[in-house]
Amino acid sequence: MADKDAEIGFKKETVSKLLSSSFKEDKTRLSGDAALLMAELLKVFVQEAAVRSQKQAESEDCDQVDIEHFEKILPQLVEGGKRESFIDILSRGKGGWVEQHHSGHKKSQRFRVVNWRVQE
Amino acid sequence: MSVDKDETQLRLKAAVHYTVGRLCQRMGEVHRREFSRQVLAAIAETAFRQCDIFAKDLEAFARHAKRSTVSSEDVKLVARRSTALSIYIQNKSEELNQEQRDLKKKNAGKRKSRDTEERAENKDKTKAGL
């Protein structure tokens, strides 16, 4: 079974092109080893998505894995999922927590962060 | 040419989709629960998008280390969040290094035996008066 797993995977060239297309700078390159490791990482990522979706389908007594099953496990799979970090909340634009609780203050107002609470 | 770029992206997406399909087919066989086509497309799309995030992280890590080439060390950092994944990638990295070391030894060995062979050949040639 393990041998068969080893056969299927992402091609080094595909992974290389895929990642390179997202680099911001032209000079950034991907080493051969890094490409191989990322191919492995992607494979694990996909397998995790698959297995978790299957388990979700199983828990709901479904024979087939459907989109709802995948959607339910997605937050666990993708980093940060639905949980927002403090920095995310702070850096959000209008309508964010800071805006809501400190409306009327000028943008230049500096906020002190004490014990993870924002104070003027 | 943005048209070429789009084409490349589509081709890459298709390649990802293909591998996702095969991986999921195998998992479906193993766990006896198959995936709808929608799910396959969704997993492929998610993997594709996740690559964008990975790439930007990798680039940032390399830049932080004042390198322009992303290395396996950067990949290990990307995998750090999950302990199991981190260990898996670490092991793969060591496997790769071991393979390369073995390959170097093999080539060094080949070169040595080639040298002795050549020397033996030359000896024969001089004997034959060539």
pLDDT in tens, chain B (130 residues): 577 888 999 999 999 999 999 999 999 999 999 999 999 999 999 999 999 999 999 999 999 999 999 999 999 999 887 777 888 899 999 999 999 899 999 988 877 777 776 676 666 666 665 5
Instruction: Give the span between the Cα atoms of A72 and A52, in whole angstroms.
Output: 9
Taking the Cβ of residue B10 and every Cβ of chain A, the question of whether any pair is shorter than 8 Å is answered with: no
A11-42: string of b/e by CB count within 10 Å (b at 16+)? Answer: eeebbbbbbbeebeeeebbbbebbbbbbbbbb
- The whole-number pLDDT of residue A101 equals 54
Which residue of A lies nearest to B55 if distances are taken between CA atoms? A19
Average pLDDT, whole number, for chain A? Answer: 76
How many folded domains does chain A comprise? 1
Any domain includes A19: yes
Q: Assess if residue A52 is contained within a domain.
A: yes
A107 falls in which pLDDT band (50, 70, 90)? very low
Phi, psi of A112 (to 5 degrees): -95, 140
Q: Could you tell me if residue A78 is inside a domain? A: yes
Does residue A105 lie within any of the structural domains?
no
- pLDDT level of residue A89 (50, 70, 90 thresholds): very low
User: Which of chain B's residues have a Cβ under 8 Å away from the Cβ of A66?
Assistant: 36, 38-39
pLDDT grade, residue A106 (50/70/90)? Answer: very low
The boundaries of the domain holding residue A35 are 12-91
pTM of the predicted protein model: 0.73
Q: Do B33 and A63 touch (CB under 8 A)?
A: yes
**List of chain A residues whose C-beta atoms are within 8 Å of the C-beta of residue B8:** 17, 21
Contacts with B20 from chain A: Cβ below 8 Å: 46
- Is residue A119 included in any domain, yes or no? no
Asked, for residue A62, whether it belongs to a domain, the answer is: yes
Does some domain include residue A120? no
- What's the ipTM? 0.81
User: What pLDDT band is residue A98 in, cutting at 50, 70 and 90?
Assistant: very low
Q: Please give, rounded to a whole number of angstroms, the shortest distance from the CA of A77 to a CA of chain B.
A: 10
Can you give the CATH number for the domain in which A87 is found? 1.10.20
- CA-nearest residue to B53 within chain A is A22
Chains A and B form CB pairs within 8 A to the count of 161
Contacts of B52 in chain A (CB under 8 A): 22
Query: Does residue A42 lie within any of the structural domains?
Result: yes
Distance CA B40, CA B30 (A): 16
Distance from CA of A100 to the nearest CA of B (A): 30
> Which helix or strand (DSSP H or E) is residue A73 part of?
helix A67-77
> Between A21, A27, A46, which is nearest B47 by CB?
A46
